Structure 1
Amino acid sequence: MKNIKKTGALIALLAGGITAGAQTPAKPDTTPHKAAAAPQLNLMELLDILNPPEKYDYKETFANFFYTNNGNTYRAANGEPGPDYWQNRADYQLDAALHEETNEITGTEILTYTNNSPFKLDFLWMQLDQNLFRDDSRGSAIVPVTGSRNAGHEQHFDAGYKIKSVQLIGSTPGAAPQNLQFLINDTRMQVFLDKAVAPKGGVVKLKIVYSFISPDYGSDRMGIMPAKNGKVFTIAQWYPRMCVFDDVYGWNTVPYSGPAEFYLEYGDFDIHITAPAKDMVVCSGELLNPQEVFTPQQQQRWAQAAKSDETVMIRTAEEVTDPASRPAGKKELTWHFRIKNSRDASWGASSSFILDAARLNLPGGKKAMAVSAYAEEGLEIAWDKSTAMIKRSVEYYSSRWYPYPYPAAVNVGGTPMGMEYPGIVFCAGRKVPFANLGFILDHEFGHTWFPMIVGSNERLYGWMDEGFNTFINNQQKAEDTAAIKQMKQQRNASSNGSAYTRYGPITSSPGNMPEGDIGALLYNKPAWGLKLLREQVLGPERFDFAFKTYIKRWAFKHPTPDDFFRTMENAAGENLEWFWRGWFTHTWTLDVAVDTVTYVDNDPAHGALITISNLARMAMPVILEIKTTSGKTERIKLPVEIWQRNNSWTFKYPSTETISSVTYDPDFVLPDSKAENNTWPKKQ
């Protein structure tokens, strides 16, 4: 009745007015035969009606039909790629030259694109991410006046790609290249074909000639760092890249605006980078011509490093300014690299580079190289320990989840605070706030697994990239005995679930989130969700099997959120729709209260009846700590199913003496939002 009256008052309010705070006396009613006035509302009552507090509804939390699409032959209902799953392929031959004086990169790209889809393609879409830095780009238009990590830091320059030509080559033996029409719109380029690429294996080969000037600060993903012994270039998004054509959206052409990262096809990369001879160059993949770009002494050191578990200096800090540390008689050198089955490639170059390396030991006896390239400024923040840190991270993740797939793992000290690419990462190359090299390096190399191996769509589902990586980062730290105490303290301090209620859902795209919310929604909350799933819902054994199954199934493929959700359910043998709904797709909170304790026949020796209630919209398994007057303490765990058809639950505890207290979630491992109602008897 009370709610009915308030609703009536709200209706009356829309036609009348609202009081702020205490009600004021109404004017005398002199209208004859007027009906009784609806009750007035103050501002707080109105807010309660418009934004009512959460109330648990088991029919909503445990409803069927979480999945909006059935499985099909492309993506099966059990979460694995279906028998007709397909994805297209992009192989690149890239030749680039670095012009240090003007910060310009000129390049030629030979793209071999294979259409494995069942559809013919009359046109192609490509990504021109350098166009973000143009003053007239969409990304520039959405930068707030307060600034953004994803902006150009007020740098105005001749930014963006200059596409000299797009040609069709190799269409018929001996035929001359054919110029193709293309249309550039912001960070996308549409290439029009005279003849469609045939389905199920049709191939088209393009030659693209282009150039661009590198920004000094490229959305914290690339740029140019000034250093005492020469500029440090960290170069990414440096060639026109194929958009993904998939069975979910067709062409994925969401423009690059800065916050959201990338979605790319897999293929092989053959890369030549020409730079001044004084520079050292590092790149994704294997260096194929060390004999041409290293001195004889450096060649020996490089070969030694490939067999050493200890860091070997290839070029020392003292040698950086020694002309003898570079091959003599050359103005330029061309470095040759190759990386296979990769979604991208990036590189760094500088005359400032100190270079060191060591061997990576991978599962099955495979070996790779850990390489660090950094300027003298990096020594102040432990860059001389970088290669040892690479070994620790990459070897751990390889043994724990899936073998590292690339011939080298390269860390470059430059402008970005931290950014990841296949086989290479960029970390802060000098002392700046928050430049914790060990923490950042571990996170960036963790991205090898998400999204480099498991190739999710970062442009739309950033949580499948950042959140999953943050989870495996935290798993590594949890296995480090020295970090356990600190992590528990952090967990206890931050485990109040209400901290996330002001944000949108995890499943929002990065471009649909305020920049200040990204840390919570892309990194922390999804990582915490996986931790809850592992430790409180499934248990480590079932979770680890399911999570590894997901990685193995979707390695070098393109999963969607449903593919992840379905794989976890099918591999773990658990319906988790209530969990996905509460933690990922909504902003619900958890609030469980310990209500009462009574005794059977009013005698503690006959057992106790303990009643708990779910007061908010989320459900979780229950952990209770029960203490008796003699000092006995016991933990009780109840499955989430107690909430499947109940708002409150009473269970019998086999007590033989008086209970002194009952505490819900005593270790703060659940995201309960109100600690004040977690204990019986209530604290006064």
Structure 2
Amino acid sequence: MKLTVTVLSVFLYLGVSAQQIQNNPGSNHGNKFEQLGTILPTPNVYRTASGAPGHAYWQNRADYEISAYLDEDKRNLRGSETVTYHNNSPDDLDYIWLQLDENQQSSVKKADYPFSSTLPKAVNDQQLKVSELPVKDNGYGVNLEKVTDASGNPLKYTVNKTMMRIDLPKVLKKGEKFIFKIDWNYNIPNRMKMGGRGGYENFPEDGNDLYTITQWFPRMCVYSDFQGWQNHQFTGRGEFALVFGNYKVSVNVPADHIVGGTGECKNYEQVLTSDQLARYRQAEKASEPVEIVTLDEAKKAEKNRSKQRKTWVFEAKDVRDFAWTSSRKFVWDGMGVLIPENNNKVMAMSFYPKEAYGLYRKFSTKAVAHTIKTYSEYTVPYPYPVAQSVEASNGMEYPMICFNFGRTEKDGTYSEGTKNGMIGVIIHEVGHNFFPMIINSDERQWSWMDEGLNTFTEYLTEEKWDNKFPSKRGPAWTIVDYMRLPKDQLEPIMSNSENIIQFGPNAYAKPATGLNILRETIMGRELFDKAFKTYSKRWAFKHPEPADFFRTMEDASGEDLDWFWRGWFYGTDPVDIAIDKVTIATPDFAAVQQEREIKYKVEKPVQNEFEDISKIRNREDKTITFEVEKDKSLQDFYYRYDRGQEKVDHNKEYTFKTEGSEALDKKDQEKLKNFTAYQIDFVNKGGLVMPIILEFTFEDGTKLRDKSSAQIWRYNEQKVSKTFYFDKKLKSIQLDPMRETADIDTSNNFWSHDRSTSETSKFQVFKQKKDGPVRGGGNGRVNPMQAAGKKN
């Protein structure tokens, strides 16, 4: 952790709340409106007291040339990159840091931020595994083949989990650049089973894959004036701190794949058919989406697999990342969009499989266009030539491209929840082009600076889409239930991304709601909008920190808002960890979940629970014309249904069957009959967290060891539990066997089965029938559109 003393008080890496730093804590006044001067970092030549970049502000840069090869048969990606790193800082650098995010998918290279685990009430056979100690390599993660300088000379490097340090052959001084090359490969994970933001999704019905290739190449870390190297590990949650640069990327894929990527494709003439190229040229000038690759073409491509290859070439300028997608399943449509503020002509496009056609063809590209136009009004004019939405049963963002969900039922109908969820996620993820792709905050440390600011602007954009849009985050009343939670379930917004339990309310909803309260109730729309736009302009293509936002909002509005930041946005213990209790459980093979029939009625029209002030004022504002009123093609069944123009029998009962589970067969039961599960409960009596180091001794005399890093305490500093599955019985457990944590009381560090009064129980084991439901798809129930016999 590299922080200056002046910054440490605000960035709170150790979880101490800045809210408690007060000059007069014993008084009944003078605290809530105390200025933030003692908390915010001291202004300097890089960042001014006004919140603007200082006259000596600098940031480094990285330019990339990358070639990639997608091996669909092996589901492997090979890559080679040349990076030109520009040191614009006043510092001499003798090493540089890069991110290897794909290592988070590895069982042995990941960041090791474990979670507390407890005995389940039921598990499926895929989840039930022997706790393998030591952990075996699952074959995922980055394989580095070669790291050299521009002349091919090997460079010394060190990989620390998801981070890679390269030692420079000579000091890199201010104004100099360093060119180096890396060759690598990795096995592409099934993200529908393994999770994560990138990977492949397989469609068993036609045997094809849809690839979302993200965080896929070694990427430069940020070196900044306020922190030095941002090389915090990637745990799968806290997103990215990245530098701007220019990209030239060549992607070699099967010839029948369609590829979308960050930036502009430079060789459509070589990779598209003449008909597709003609449609693309037509789409550039169209005011309605044009199918560049048609539904019929996508269906035909699904049935064949080409043995030929094609290379797609993309270029992007002044972006902080590059992502791409590839599949033979894609329908592709697009249209041109003009951004009036900078006269920028943008190609808005969507890629989607046939499973999403009924929703994406109608809404996606128009939602993309609406988003970049509306965000441009509130922040900065959209500067890039492309904006793309990809349906990938997902929700994740990268420069000029994002991955969203939204699939119909097999008959082409959809629920209103799916429709609204899809539109909302498209607006949200496309909106991330502004926060943080352009206004480039450090997501690894401050989730709210991208998710919160973006969710707020998403709310403004949803409101301009349809005045009846059921926004869940933004209006003040929607945050009330979260604010009612006990204090032990809440964290300040100013918290590190990894340590938040209620992540959605904390990082998305509460900051968005706070900004809406400022806009509507405290500052007024005019003052707020000018200040918010000032912040966006000041920090476009730069690296803002929280203090830059707080100070700019006050500087540009003339409002003293320290009390609001303090209230809305901002605990020397020894080690004594004890084994408090061990619970033992054995398998129960008889408890099979049965099918059930559920009676239900078709849902009534969606109505907002409360007509909040934003909706009322937007209706009264004659300068606002809602998108669904301007564009009649957006007025679908649910538009009419919500307004009482479609009739559905809400008294008719339907039957929905839930799927049961299958019992394990005798062979599998025999394999698992000796399994025993142990839940070990630990108590942190001393207060200081430390790693949990365990030595297991089994009845046959063999031993195993396990070590959980101290991060296991991050959600609960007093109590945690760890569950292990073994195929033989434990005799004893020793905590801290080598006495390496300075534990002040070792008498509570041992458990023996002989002397135990442990609780015993059963855990259900059954066979999982299939993978879980696809995000954004149907739930098997009759929706109002089906009940009415309509498809539009």
Asked if TM exceeds 0.5, the reply is yes
**CA distance in 1 between partners of 2:537 and 2:467 (Å):** 31
The Cα shift of 1:259 comes to 1.2
1:136 Cα deviation (Å)?
Answer: 2.2
Instruction: Specify the alignment match of 1:505 in structure 2.
Output: 492
CA RMSD after TM alignment: 2.8
Which of 431-440 and 381-390 deviates more?
Answer: 431-440
- Assess, with a 3 A threshold, how the Cα gap between structure 1 residues 131 and 78 changes in structure 2: closer, same or farther: same
Query: Are 2:296 and 1:318 aligned?
Result: yes
The whole-number CA distance in structure 1 between the counterparts of 2:403 and 2:249 is 19
Superimposed CA distance per residue, residues 209-244 of structure 1 (whole angstroms, 9 cap, x where no aligned partner): 000111111644222112244200001001000010
Q: 1:361 to 1:113 in 2, by over 3 A?
A: same
In structure 2, how many angstroms separate the alpha carbons of the residues matched to 1:490 and 1:575?
A: 23
Distance 1:349 1:576, change over 3 A: same
CA distance in 2, matches of 1:439, 1:166: 42
Q: Note the 1:221-620 alignment, pairs <5 A.
A: 221-227=197-203, 228-229=205-206, 230-322=208-300, 331-363=308-340, 364-415=342-393, 417-428=394-405, 430=407, 435=418, 436-480=421-465, 482-483=467-468, 491-492=476-477, 494-495=479-480, 498-499=483-484, 501=487, 502-514=489-501, 517-585=502-570
Q: Which residue of 1 aligns with 2:173?
A: 198
Say if 1:478 and 1:487, in contact at 8 Å, map to a contact too. no
Any conservation in 1 of the 2:387–2:401 contact (CA below 8 Å)?
yes
Cα gap change, 1:66 to 1:530, in 2 (>3 Å) = farther
Task: Give the Cα separation in 1 of the matches to 2:188 and 2:247.
Answer: 21
Superposed displacement of residue 481, structure 1: 5.3
> CA 1:538–1:294 in structure 2 vs 1: closer, same or farther (change >3 Å)?
same
Q: Does 1:167 align with 2:148?
A: yes
What residue identity is the alignment partner of 1:440? V
How far residue 325 of structure 1 moved from its aligned partner, in angstroms, is: 12
**Preserved CA contact (<8 Å) 1:477 1:483:** no
User: Structure 1 residue 143: deviation in Å?
Assistant: 4.3
Q: CA deviation at 1:109?
A: 0.5
Q: Find the counterpart in structure 2 of residue 673 from structure 1.
A: none
Residues of 1 paired with 2:408 and 2:386: CA distance?
26
Q: Which residue of 1 aligns with 2:91?
A: 119
- Say if 1:478 and 1:214 are closer, same or farther in 2 by CA, change over 3 A: same
Deviations 1:160-185 (A, max 9, x none): 1001111111xxxxxx3211011101
Please list the CA deviations of residues 494-523 of structure 1 after superposition, one character each: whole Å capped at 9, or x if unmatched. Answer: 446733644110010111112xx1011100
Change (3 A) 1:455 1:329: closer
Does structure 2 conserve the Cα–Cα contact (< 8 Å) formed by 1:124 and 1:190? yes
| Compared CA separation, residues 226 and 77, structure 1 to 2 (3 A) | same
2:43 alignment counterpart = 71
Q: 2:292·2:332 contact (CA, 8 Å) conserved in 1? A: yes
CA contact 1:134–1:140 (8 Å) conserved in 2 = no
Contact 1:123/1:190, CA 8 A, preserved across alignment: yes
Secondary structure class of the residue paired with 1:320: helix
Shift of 1:428: 2.2
C-alpha distance in structure 2 between counterparts of 1:288 and 1:374, whole Å: 22
Corresponding position of 1:676: none
Report the Cα distance in structure 1 between the residues aligned to 2:111 and 2:364, rounded to whole angstroms: 33
Q: Kindly state the Cα deviation for residue 145 of structure 1 after the two structures are TM-superposed.
A: 4.2
**Whole-angstrom distance in 1 between the partners of 2:33 and 2:347:** 49
- Contact in 1 for aligned 2:283/2:335 (Cα 8 Å): yes
- 1:285, 1:423 within 8 Å by CA — same for their partners in 2? yes
Number of residues paired by the alignment? Answer: 518
Q: 1:237 to 1:324 in 2, by over 3 A?
A: closer
* Change beyond 3 A, Cα 1:374–1:77: same
Which secondary structure state, in structure 2, belongs to the residue aligned with residue 91 of structure 1? Answer: strand
- 1:210 pairs with one of 181, 184, 190: 184
Aligned-partner Cα distance in 2 for 1:193–1:226: 42
Report the 3-state secondary structure (helix = DSSP H, G, I; strand = E; otherwise coil) of the residue aligned with 2:44: coil
Partner of 2:162: 187
Paired with 1:137 and 1:383, the residues of 2 have a C-alpha distance of: 41
Displacement after TM superposition at 1:493 (Å): 5.6
Alignment CA distance shift 1:346-1:581 (3 Å): same
Distance 2:471 2:496 in 1: 32
Higher relative contact order (CA 8 A, sep 6+): 2
Change (3 A) 1:315 1:144: farther
Alpha-carbon distance between aligned partners in 2 of 1:429 and 1:224, rounded to the nearest angstrom: 17
AA paired with 2:156? Q
State the distance in 2 between where 1:574 and 1:407 align. Answer: 37
Q: 1:380 deviation in Å?
A: 4.9
Secondary structure at the aligned position of 1:450 is classed as: coil
User: Counterpart of 2:96 in 1: which secondary structure?
Assistant: strand
Q: 1:297 to 1:246 in 2, by over 3 A?
A: same
CA contact (8 A) 1:94 1:108 kept: yes
Q: Is the 8 A contact 1:112 1:204 kept in 2?
A: yes
In the TM superposition, residue 140 of structure 1 has moved relative to its aligned partner by 5.5
Equivalent residue letter for 1:269 = Y
Q: After superposing the two structures, state which structure 1 stretch, 232-241 or 489-498, moved more.
A: 489-498
Letter of the structure 1 residue corresponding to residue 468 of structure 2: A
Cα shift readout 1:324-381 (whole Å, capped 9, x = no counterpart): 999x997100001111100001000001111111112112322011111111111254
**Alpha-carbon separation, structure 1, partners of 2:530 and 2:452:** 19
1:400 Cα deviation after fit: 3.1
Unaligned runs of 5+ in 2: 1-24, 120-125, 130-136, 410-414, 572-612, 614-792
Alpha-carbon shift at residue 534 of structure 1 (Å): 1.3
Distance 1:474 1:260, change over 3 A: same
User: Counterpart of 1:639?
Assistant: none
CA distance in 1, matches of 2:301, 2:322: 29
CA contact (8 A) 1:316 1:355 kept: yes
Query: Is 1:98 matched with 2:70?
Result: yes
* CA separation of 1:443 and 1:68: change in aligned 2, threshold 3 A: closer
SS in structure 1 at match of 2:30: helix
Residues 1:78 and 1:67: Cα distance change in structure 2 (over 3 Å): farther
**Distance change in 2, residues 1:497/1:239 (3 Å):** closer
